[in-house]
């Protein structure tokens, strides 16, 4: 994995563990020679990931919609800052520029990005690993809901392993690097669906 799209919040929670986690992720990726592709912002967890990766000598590509640049949200320190027209172009760029997806804690936008990466993998638009860092148990309920969707038949058995979830970054990155693509819906017959 040469580059990972890192999905995370632009907010700064009161609990300092989240910003520290973001810094650790940015630093760890850079020290492994893995570039960061992210939302291009300088605030919250996004800014912490980027800042730590840059401080450790890593590549950081920010992809930000025009509407967010004017509000002084854009991070001018990125190795490269790509300004796109909208969120759809932003997410397409994340997929094009990265070798996988790493989600750390975040809010609604982070969930949108995660679920699109999962959905696109399920369909067959990409065959890249989708990692979820479940630090501090932040995603316990999301993982339980994902299991519930599978148990009720809304996630096919072939797609139940798309989300690679771990509480520790090293183990998550190891599992993501060993990722083997599943059979996507586009390659299935109607009888398999």
Instruction: Measure the CA–CA gap between 157 and 136, rounded to whole angstroms.
Output: 28
Distance separating alpha carbons of residues 97 and 136, to the nearest angstrom = 29
Q: For position 72, what pLDDT does the model report? A: 62
Which 3 state secondary structure label does DSSP give 69? helix
User: What is the extent of the structural domain holding 106?
Assistant: 3-192
Q: Tell whether the torsion through CA atoms of 154, 156, 159 and 163 is positive or negative.
A: positive
Domain count for the chain, please give it.
1
CA distances from 111 to 37, 105, 136 (A): 17, 9, 17
Per-residue pLDDT of the chain (193 residues; tens, 9 = 90+): 999 999 999 999 999 999 999 999 999 999 999 999 999 999 999 999 999 999 999 999 999 999 988 776 899 999 999 999 999 999 999 999 999 999 999 999 999 999 999 999 999 999 999 999 999 999 999 999 999 999 999 999 999 999 999 999 999 999 999 999 998 888 888 777 7
User: What's the CATH code of the domain at 17?
Assistant: 3.40.50.450
156 in Cβ contact with 119 (< 8 Å): no
φ/ψ of residue 91, rounded to 5: -70, -35
Q: Which residues pair with 63 in a beta bridge?
A: 82
Query: Which residues are bridge partners to 5 per DSSP?
Result: 37, 101
Q: How many residues in the chain?
A: 193
Taking the model in full, what pTM does it have? 0.95
């Amino acid at each position: 994995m040469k580059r990972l799209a890192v999905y995370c919040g632009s907010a700064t929670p009161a609990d300092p563990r989240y910003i520290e986690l973001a810094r650790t992720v940015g630093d760890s990726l850079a020290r492994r020679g893995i570039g960061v592709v992210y939302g291009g912002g300088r605030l919250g967890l996004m800014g912490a990931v980027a800042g730590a990766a840059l401080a450790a000598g890593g590549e950081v590509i920010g992809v930000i919609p025009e509407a967010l640049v004017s509000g002084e949200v854009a991070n001018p320190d990125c190795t490269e800052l790509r300004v796109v027209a909208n969120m759809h172009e932003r997410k397409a760029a994340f997929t094009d520029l990265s070798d996988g997806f790493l989600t750390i804690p975040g809010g609604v936008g982070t969930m949108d990005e995660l679920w699109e990466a999962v959905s696109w993998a399920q369909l067959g638009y990409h065959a890249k690993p989708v990692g979820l860092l479940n630090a501090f148990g932040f995603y316990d309920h999301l993982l339980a809901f994902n299991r519930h969707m599978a148990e009720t038949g809304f996630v096919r058995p072939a797609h139940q392993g798309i989300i690679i979830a771990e509480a520790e970054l090293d183990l998550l990155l190891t599992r993501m690097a060993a990722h083997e693509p599943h059979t996507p819906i586009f390659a299935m017959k109607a009888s398999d669906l």
